[in-house]
Amino acid sequence: MTRRLLRVVLAEFGVDDDSAVALGRLMRDDGVEVVYSGRLDTTEQVVRTAEQEDPDILGVVRGASEPEGLAEALPDVLLFAVGNGPSRFDNAFETLEEAANWVSGVRSHTVETPSDRRR
């Protein structure tokens, strides 16, 4: 039996800490495949990375700014952002735990994986 993991690409945009690494570990421990892209400085870099990695979800750990136009550039990819302050992302979270919980909810509702009770 093949089990398909949810694939998430995490990018840091305008931050200089290890928040994305910590978030990636939370998701990995919950059974999500995580690709950590590191710090990306432009929207184009984020888009090109997402195109190359073909994720189900793209997460951006952001600082004061956020990449513009991602939803338009990546219409088939779910997006979320983690950071303080207002965000134009539909799925924006202030804490890593909130973001990880949201990804877990997406995973349980969109990926054809048997529930823990059936395994």
Mean pLDDT in each 10-residue stretch from start to end of the chain (119 residues)?
Answer: 77 86 92 93 94 94 88 92 88 93 75 43
> What are the residues whose beta carbons fall under 8 Å from the beta carbon of 104, sequence distance 6 or more?
27, 30, 32
Q: Which pLDDT does position 114 carry in this prediction?
A: 45
Residues in the chain: 119
CA 88 to chain centre: 15
For the chain, domains (ranges, CATH) are 7-109 (3.40.50.280)
Starting at the edge strand found earlier in the chain, the sheet holding 7-13 runs 33-39, 7-13, 57-62, 78-82, 92-93
H/E stretch holding 28 reads helix 19-29
Q: Which pLDDT does position 23 carry in this prediction?
A: 94
* Residue 37: strand, helix, or coil: strand
Q: Which pLDDT does position 88 carry in this prediction?
A: 87
Name the nearest CA neighbour of 62 among 90, 94, 31, 37.
Answer: 94
